[in-house]
Structure 1
Amino acid sequence: MRRWLRPLILLWQEVILLLQDNQRFLQLLSQIEGIATRVLAIGMLLVVIVAIIDLGRILTVELFSPPLGQFSLELVKIFGLFLNVLVALEILENITAYLKTHVSSQIVELVIVTSLIAIARKIIILDIGQPETVAKLLGLAIAILALSASYWIVRRLNYRRRP
């Protein structure tokens, strides 16, 4: 029974030492954060690849099924698929930017641009025939104004900080 207890006690002592030394603890957190970010980047890369393959499959089926050269899907849905891939690429860019630099103002700028692209996608695929469309459009317009103002502020601050 003591055999399994000794490694646990040693591990616990190591954890206590780690928690007492701020520098070592911060290094451990940074390493864990780096690993998590890399895992997210690989996952997002897989999502992008699958989305591109799916988009290619849908376009091929739509182009080569009768009547040839015409889309049975609405063009709006096809644009939505393209924008899905674009948003996924932007998210991947956000993750890689975070890996490259930990400058939060640059990352915030990328996140705002990604959000604007996602809202543009939502507007493009919005179903005009639905009764709640006006309320959705108003909400999206407010979000665009807020994000645009945020982007302008962050961009201006980033420009001032550059040497």
Structure 2
Amino acid sequence: MAVLIAVEIFINIRLYLGTDVLPIRLVTATALMAIARKVIVLDLDKTSAEYVFAIAAVTLALGVTHWLISKKA
């Protein structure tokens, strides 16, 4: 997953430098992949409930943002 996230970030940088337009849809997809990786490696025995709820809120917010951006395009 870390390699995929690095590749996505590289693509983001290349697109930004090539067109001077920030690809928001790709950025939100990369952020979703990063938060998904965080959820996969999360150790629930050592994690507080507040942290889990915060991760869930971030995931939900990024999902809704990506959905709205995709729906508009």
The one-letter amino acid paired with 2:53 is L
Note the 1:101-140 alignment, pairs <5 A: 101-104=19-22, 107-132=23-48, 134-140=49-55
> RCO (CA 8 Å, sep 6+): is it higher in 1 or 2?
2
Note the 1:1-163 alignment, pairs <5 A: 83-104=1-22, 107-132=23-48, 134-157=49-72, 159=73
Q: Distance in 2 between matches of 1:87 and 1:139?
A: 21
**Structure with greater Cα Rg:** 1
Deviation, structure 1 residue 100: 2.7
- The TM-score with structure 1 as length reference comes to 0.42
Deviation, structure 1 residue 154: 1.4
Superposed CA offset, 1:60-113 (max 9, x none): xxxxxxxxxxxxxxxxxxxxxxx1111111110110111232333xx1111101
Deviation, structure 1 residue 131: 4.5
The one-letter amino acid paired with 2:65 is S
* Fraction of identical pairs, as percent: 38
Q: Distance in 2 between matches of 1:136 and 1:101?
A: 38
Q: Distance in 1 between matches of 2:20 and 2:47?
A: 44
- The TM-score with structure 2 as length reference comes to 0.86
CA 1:111–1:100 in structure 2 vs 1: closer, same or farther (change >3 Å)?
A: same
Structure 1 spans left out of the alignment, 5+ residues: 1-82
